[in-house]
Chain A
């Protein structure tokens, strides 16, 4: 009985040991991957921006950068909230338009303009989501670096966040333009089709 109990204990412990080893290996690998990706981003920024700080600037940045990192953390958290809100918004938009398309198909009206509008929203929001994700990653880079030790790298990552923010703004503006131009013109056409359909069906 005792030997059976001991064997069971050994097996349980071995299993626990193996699984914790696997978890440790996995987290090591993901950390390495993350660090490699961050190093690659830093290299790319280094090629794009020429930041040469004087000793005085380095000292000043080292002194003030933790405050800046706190402000960046707030911006990142706000960007995450925006991501949630926009994801839900665009899902609602596509869903509303898809239901309208279903009605058009049910009533055998041409829905090709709606197809194009839905796809335009899908494409533009995919681009926007990618850019926003990149912005959050760039903010994380600037937040997580030891800025007091590496002021130069911190400034490079900060430039990276500015660059990425421009991309996000551009992608967001593309959605604004779509909503201000293609959306109303599509609905004008849809109304015309509806009128013709109504006339034809004598309703």
Chain B
């Protein structure tokens, strides 16, 4: 996923991805990624949780404009309301 994202970003379109693995994101370094903390196969969360999916999608879109540092990983898997920017990825 990160490789496809990098190609699209390089072509001149801003991108953001869900990542299900901090380990993979740190290796591949997509331009902008969000770790929601969901299990494999559930990038947008649980089935039929339209509100949860919509909230996550709005956050993703907002982060496209908010993130200023290439390679930033936003960790949403910590407690609600304590979104943290993982600066390790950009170092």
Tell whether A and B belong to one assembly: no
Chain A residues with CB under 8 Å of chain B are none
Chain B residues with CB under 8 Å of chain A are none
